[in-house]
């Protein structure tokens, strides 16, 4: 469908430019989408299947004192996109079009371009959850068991071992820890 949510719990030491939170973008020939920090704003952008045209692009100003174990949520409900800081709506935009699904691996906390790491996050990500529905602005995800049929991926970054980032959704989308 055309509805989904990405929620991350993070803390940032600074708002330096070029910090990836989560992306599917290995190189400019396969770029798909990214959620990142730049110019003291949080940005979302997504590209078409030719990796040339931005179908989606919007941002929100965020005060630095808000990044201490806070939630950033990006939602899409058909053509309505929203960004929330905890339960506060900080940006919304009406943008239609399809989000290209690249074959690139999901990158969290940085972008891997070939074997080179760039856009590293200057902070800590505690968890990321991706759902196939829109989260309500007051909804917290404390008990994944209540919504497990809607969870696509749920990573807890304090629960990985031996280089494996475990997917707690039950969907077996385990990742590799780099760094």
Q: Is 140 exposed, middle or buried (0-12, 13-18, 19+ CB in 10 A)?
A: exposed
Q: Residues 9-38: what's their mean pLDDT?
A: 82
Which segment of 16-25, 82-91, 140-149 scores lowest on mean pLDDT?
140-149
Q: Which residue has the higher pLDDT, 1 or 178?
A: 178
pLDDT score for 175: 83
H or E element at residue 93: strand 88-94
Collapsed DSSP state (helix, strand, coil) of residue 162: coil
pLDDT score for 139: 67
Its sign, for the CA torsion 32, 48, 3, 89, is: positive
Q: Which residue has the higher pLDDT, 51 or 179?
A: 51
114 has pLDDT over 80: no
pLDDT > 70 in the chain, percent: 85
First-to-last alpha carbon distance for the chain, in angstroms, is 34
Nearest to 83 by CA among 37, 114, 143, 48: 37
């Amino acid at each position: 469908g055309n509805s989904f949510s990405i929620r991350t719990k993070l803390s940032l030491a600074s708002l330096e430019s070029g910090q990836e939170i989560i992306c599917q973008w290995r190189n400019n020939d396969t770029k798909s989408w990214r959620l990142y920090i730049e110019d003291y704003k949080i940005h979302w952008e997504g590209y078409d299947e030719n990796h040339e045209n931005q179908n989606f692009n919007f941002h929100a100003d965020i005060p630095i004192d808000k990044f201490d174990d806070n939630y950033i949520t990006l939602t899409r409900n058909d053509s309505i996109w929203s960004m929330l800081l905890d339960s506060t709506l900080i940006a919304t935009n009406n943008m239609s079009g399809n989000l290209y699904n690249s074959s690139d691996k999901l990158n969290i906390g940085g972008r891997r371009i070939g074997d080179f790491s760039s856009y590293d996050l200057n902070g800590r990500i505690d968890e990321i959850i991706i759902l196939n529905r829109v989260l309500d602005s007051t909804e917290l995800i404390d008990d994944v068991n209540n919504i497990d049929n809607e969870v696509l991926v749920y990573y807890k970054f304090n629960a990985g071992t031996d280089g494996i980032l475990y997917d707690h959704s039950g969907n077996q989308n385990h990742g590799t820890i780099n760094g």
